[in-house]
Homo-oligomer: A and B are copies of this chain.
Amino acid sequence: MRRIRVPLGERSYDIHIASNLLGRLGAECRRLKLGRRCAIITDDRVAPLLARQTAASLESAGFDGAVISFKSGESSKNLRVVADCYEQLASHRLERNSFIVALGGGVVGDLAGFVAATYLRGIAFVQVPTTLLAQVDSSVGGKTGVNLKSGKNLVGAFYQPRLVLCDLDTLKSLPERDYRAGLAEVIKYGIIADERFFRWLEQNLPALLKREPKALAKAVARSCEIKAEVVGEDEKEGGRRAILNFGHTIGHAIEAISGYSRFLHGEAISVGQVAAAKLSQQLTSLPAKDAERIQALFNAVGLPTHYRLTAPKRVRLLQAIRLDKKVQDGEVKFVLAERIGRVRTGVRVPDELVNEIMGRK
């Protein structure tokens, strides 16, 4: 088993990565001295596959776990579902020393984490991410939240889990498209922080696409290491944490203008990262060779690398970028690459450049 520490003082916690880990959940929760009562928050895609096994692990360690399940998908990530979870926690009599297990992908982790952050002004929670995207990104770092009608993730809290348990076996049942979308975040870590890892990904992509356990363990672990290090330096995105947003400014805007239905998040940020690479060539001297390698790797994964927009759609894209919550005093700041493995934050990008790149054939 690989164990990675997220160094956040008294809020520090471990990420465990291995196959066949879910059975150990109960024992790990005991080591953390959590209270007897807990709730497993999950969705109706994951529940039939894993809820029973999860509850059994907790029960065998002496915990009393209720299962709370909601309809799977981004459309459930809202305040109505949050309110419903609260009422169920109250009816199960969860107390201040009780805890929540978030069992599922990014939507489950974000929503259950926010519920944990705010129920009784915060109770403990454990992340059990079951998608590649959640294992390498959303379950680590303490960003929790839900969407408003006005935009994604506008409501939330920085709230750290007590443990992240990545059971690689849970990825076996992941649909191919979701799996590949998850790789977009894995590649991002190479671009923002580790050229060697990027090269390893280029070389080991066939094994990774076959989900070979050894390659998968390495990819998840190295991704989590990089994220843990960045988050440890800057928990609340005051500075360095912004590098994690590489490809996300355009990616988020693409999701917004396509109604969050056409692209998975990983697909949108694949397009966004390739676009950011092109901007980087012009604004932060990214070598053409690096930009080509970036595009080629996303291509090899089978992810979209360009989304050509008509002129009216480009106007909407630029509006969506300005609505992003990373905007400060009305000004949009991009994360761009200087070379593979190093990025610069806070780069101003002229609208015309975004317009030109997103209009290319």
Contacts and interface: CB of A to CB of B under 8 A. Distances in A.
Interface of A: 35-36, 79, 82-83, 86-87, 90-91, 95-97, 114, 117-122, 143-145, 148-151, 154-158, 236, 325-329
A328 B95 contact: yes
A243 to B, nearest CB: 17
A158 B158 CA distance: 12
Contact of A157 (B91, B96, B122, B148): B122
Nearest to A37: B329
Given A79-B79, A91-B150, A150-B91, A120 B86 contact: no
Given A79-B83, A86-B148, A150-B91, A97 B328 contact: yes
B35 A329 contact: yes
| Chain A interface helix/strand/loop/mixed | mixed
Contact of A87 (B149, B156, B329): B149
A325 B154 CA distance: 28
26 contacts: A35-B328, A35-B329, A36-B329, A79-B86, A83-B148, A86-B148, A86-B154, A86-B155, A87-B148, A87-B149, A90-B148, A95-B327, A95-B328, A96-B326, A97-B329, A114-B118, A118-B118, A118-B156, A118-B157, A119-B154, A120-B155, A120-B325, A121-B143, A121-B157, A121-B158, A157-B157
B96 A328 contact: yes
Contacts of A326: 96
Contacts of A122: 157-158, 236
Contacts of A79: 79, 82-83, 86
Contacts of A119: 154-155
Nearest to A36: B329
A90 B156 contact: no
A245 to B, nearest CB: 13
Contacts of A327: 95
Nearest to A238: B96
